[in-house]
Amino acid sequence: MTDLPTILPKTPKLIGVAADHGGYELKEYLVRMLRAAGHEVIDFGDGQPKLNDDYPDFVVPLARAVARGEVSRGIAICGSGVGACVVANKVAGVRASLIHETFSAHQGVEDDDMNMICLGGLVVGHALAWELVQTFLAARFSGTERFQRRLAKVAALENKETKS
């Protein structure tokens, strides 16, 4: 467990969620919990579990919305969380990470300005997933000079790659 608060900030945020069939059940649970906590949620799909769906079809639109600032933060879920994380990070401006424990859920935001959390729907149980999401949403980027410097290097790399 963590010493961080286990309640979400009082100000509702617009949260985007996306999942393929491997993350569908966990996504539905988290959507219910987020709405009950007063957050507005945009569900990027899948709207029903289909074994032949593909995580990029849902995670990429979510990642683009995060990068454009249309949602405050994103939650992407597939079976392991790995594929969702890989594809999310292909979108410039997205800083996503696969998270399984609370330290990284807040540290990734505080130091690296992480704006998407990726979870494995077949790996992480409901209670832990909810704790991770709460920790992720409650965290704030520190803005410390060294972290801003590092993020500028990441942005420069993204800009270079998109121009290649």
Give the position of tokens 């639109």.
61
**Is the distance from CB of 83 to CB of 55 less than 8 angstroms?**
yes
**Catalytic-role residue among 26, 30, 77, 78:** 78
Please say if 118 is a catalytic residue.
no
Rounded Cα gap, residues 28 and 91, in angstroms: 24
Which contiguous run of DSSP H or E holds residue 109? helix 102-112
Rounded to 10 deg, the angle between the 102-112 and 145-163 helix axes is 80
First to last CA, the chain: 44
**Is the distance from CB of 128 to CB of 77 less than 8 angstroms?**
no
**Is the distance from CB of 93 to CB of 67 less than 8 angstroms?**
yes
User: Of 84, 23, 40, 83, nearest to 59 (Cα)?
Assistant: 84
Catalytic residue numbers read 78
